[in-house]
Amino acid sequence: QITLKESGPALVKPTQTLTLTCTFSGFSLTTSGVGVGWIRQSPGQALEWLALIYWDDDKRYSPSLRSRLTITKDTSRNQVVLTMTNMDLVDTGTYYCVHEIYSDSCFDSWGPGTRVTVSS
C-alpha cells in the first residue's frame, strides 16, 4: 500500500523560503518509472502542478515557478523535498505530495496535504 505524507511549516513570512518534505512508503524511488511530485491548491481554487522528480533524477518544474522551485530526493530516507523561495501571500494554500508511474502518467496516490499560510 502506497502512503505519502507531507510535513513542513504551517506559517511562513513573505520573502522566506518554504521547505516541504514528503515521506513515503510502499514503493521505492529507485524503481524504474516511479515519480513523486507536488501539487498545490489555493483556498477555493483549482489544482496547480508544481514539480516532479523521477527515479532517474529527471526533474520537471512548472515554468511559471521554475525560478523559485527546487525538488530533490533522498532514496535512503524515502523522502522528496520541495523548496520554494521568496514566498508571497498568493502562495498560501494546501500542498500535496503525489505518486506517479511514468507509463500511466496519472497521480494515483496523494498525501493528505499540508496547509501553508504566508503572512507577516
Partner 1 sequence: DIQMTQSPSSLSASVGDRVTITCRASQSINSYLVGSYLNWYQQKPGKAPYLLISATSRLQSGVPSRFSGSGSGTDFTLTISSLRPEDSATYFCQQSYTFPRTFGQGTKVEIK
Shortest Cβ 108–partner 1 spacing (Å) = 5
Please report, as residue ranges, which positions from 59 to 98 form the binding site for partner 1 (by CB under 8 A).
60-64, 96
Closest CB to partner 1 among residues 43, 76:
43
Query: Could you say whether residue 105 binds partner 1 (CB under 8 A)?
Result: yes
Query: Could you say whether residue 33 binds partner 1 (CB under 8 A)?
Result: no
What is the grid cell recorded at 18?
A: 518554504
Among the listed residues 46, 16, 5, 2, the one whose alpha carbon sits nearest the alpha carbon of residue 117: 16
Closest CB to partner 1 among residues 2, 13:
2
Query: Could you say whether residue 49 binds partner 1 (CB under 8 A)?
Result: yes
Among 20, 34, 36, 52, binds partner 1 (CB under 8 A): 52
* Rounded Cα distance, 90 and 87, in Å: 8
Do residues 69 and 51 touch, judged by C-beta distance below 8 A? yes
* DSSP letters for 32-67: TTEEEEEEEE-TT--EEEEEEEETT--EEE-TTTGG
Query: Could you say whether residue 111 binds partner 1 (CB under 8 A)?
Result: yes
